[in-house]
Structure 1
Amino acid sequence: MNDNTVMLQESDQVLYRQTRRGEANCQRKGQVKIHRNHKPQFTGKIPRGMAAKVMACIKNHDWRQNSDLIALRRNGYTPYSRIFDRSYQPKPLRITARSESREALSALSLTLAANCDYSPYSQYMFEVILPIAEIAQRMGVLHVYNNGRKAYDVLLHALRVLEQLDYVIVHRGRESDSGQNKPMRVFLTENFFTSRGMNVESVRQWLHKYRQWAISAGISVSLRNKYERHQLKMARLGIDIDRHHSLKNRLKSIKRWVVSPELFHEKESIIADLNTSLIAHKKQRISSRHLSEVRYQMAWWAWSASDACTPVIRLNLENAIKTEFPHLLNHATSTEQYYRLLLERAGIPLP
């Protein structure tokens, strides 16, 4: 009996019905089964500065000797679709990952490191400022079907592995097109660097050099503006993390780990000095502007309080000006003209 048939028996008659097993193979009409559409490979441009140093460490990393990945494979993966299923039991896997998995993890790590925000003054550090579809395109796994649907399952699986390794933090949201929860924001953790042989002192030194380079190149302001535009875009799309307090606390702990105390105190002192100078400058502008605007008023008050002026003289002069020019006191801009006329009537030199 053929394996692709099912035997049905009704009384003494035996009937055979063709099953649907292997129907996909029949539709290919003898073509070779496609193992994968794209090979994961970093196709972006290698940036300069800290990103280049991080990428160099990632290229020399051997996933077969990664202790975190070995421990995870011994316990088994948990896909995102089963993360809330309490009855799901991960199945242990062999210690060494396949070459396809290692290629996907390496390509994804390089793409994340190349498009990461390394500014130490950002609110949340090490954020990958790139849409998830663009990340898939940069790592060479974006597949577009004939109907226009985009697929990047290789990226999603590799990103889930990095998330379980605590190398990245993924903030997901509902996509408007498909209605599914997709990764919207990705942040690198401190384990992303330490697992590749980078210690905290090296990362701090690279961040300090990155800040000095941005200042000397004159692009520190543009980098901050770019980050602010990204924050506004995330808030406009409704995927901000203001209400996710545990996520914010985790991101703050990453910043405390990576930002050196010297740099943090330097930032605080610079901000304090800027605030002090700005407040003093504002006070000076306000005081000088205020004095220039009320100089006739101050001169009239000074003369009317002196011995040269009596209350009768002051009242007579004020009543005369109010009778001749009643409109001067109706507007704040005409107040100085009112006091100027008083000084001229009293024969006092204008200041």
Structure 2
Amino acid sequence: MNFKKLAFRIQQTNEFLQQNAVKAINIHITLRNWLTGFYIVEFEQNGSDRAEYGSKLLENLSKNIRIKGLSAPELSRCRQFYYAYPEILGLITQKFKTMLPVDFLEDVMLENNSNQILGLPTQEFQSANNEVDTEFISSVFQSVSYTHFTELIKIEDPSKRRFYELIILKTQPTVKELKRQIDTLTYERVGLSENHRDSMEEVMKKINPQQTTDLIKSHYFFEFLNIGQAHLIEESELEQALIRHLQQFITELGNGFCFEARQKHLLFGDEYYFVDLVFYHRILKCHVLIDLKTETAKHEHIGQLKSYLNYYKKNIQETNDNPPVGILLVTNQNKAMVEYAIADSDLDIFVSKYQLQLPDKSKLEAFINRELKNI
């Protein structure tokens, strides 16, 4: 062995084990979320007190379990995941039973060869199980990240979903690339082509595979491990520096600001959006959402911030809280603009109180201009 070979071996070993660690975590995330959907469906169909919760089941469940990453919309997605892939249960009980809690196995693995599946009638399960290639679904389960699954479960047509599963197994695309393939109707275009094989090969050649680092950036990965997400979102260095300094700047202003979250993600339907900074103001008794854009102000920026405020009103705001407030900071690196999206209110006194307690617009503009000169 020489020095070059020594360095190569260490690098190769590190990369191999890193990939396996990420793969193991993704399998556990997928398993946790599928089982969560399984448990919810079982309760909805057979729970002794299910009538007490009705349409509020997921909201109540989310508040009760208090697990990071399992909000009511996410629980709904877990349920959708179970319905899209019921055959995973047979796979779990055959190949991954050592990863499961013992009581789960006692409840499910059962009297007639694991065919009586909770939440899914026996005949339906047998039919679905006969149609699926066990080895193929095993490869999908072990190779596809849950983030990819969140795109696959939106596809209702099983054949179409199988097509994109195949693309994932063969090319390992990023989630962004997978969405692009779905949005550009790759399945339909290949189906309409004269030579399916050549068309498929042409598609696969154009797909850039994801790297291990892409997987690590998944918010599911961060939430499952309960670690910080400071570098989760790919931003420009300028924006990252501004957010980092702005957090300290706002906190130093005092006036009751309590830092709560950075890059807080919100789930709207099937898409995630991120609020740069979230504070809670103990005097105003409301959340303050700050969104920063390193470009000139656009109409959609204000609309997006107002969507965040409406989300907080509906899902986060407590009974005794006042409506949330949004602050939009926009810069095109030549000038700064600050826009307050003060929550709608018929009581002028609240609006006046907000304006009195929040940072002065001129101070925020001065901060941005100062920071831009230093970066």
Q: Could you say which TM-score interval applies, normalised by the shorter chain?
A: under 0.3
Q: TM-score, normalised by structure 1?
A: 0.22
Q: Which has the higher contact order (CA 8 A, sep 6+)?
A: 1
> Larger radius of gyration, structure 1 or 2?
1
Q: TM-score, normalised by structure 2?
A: 0.21
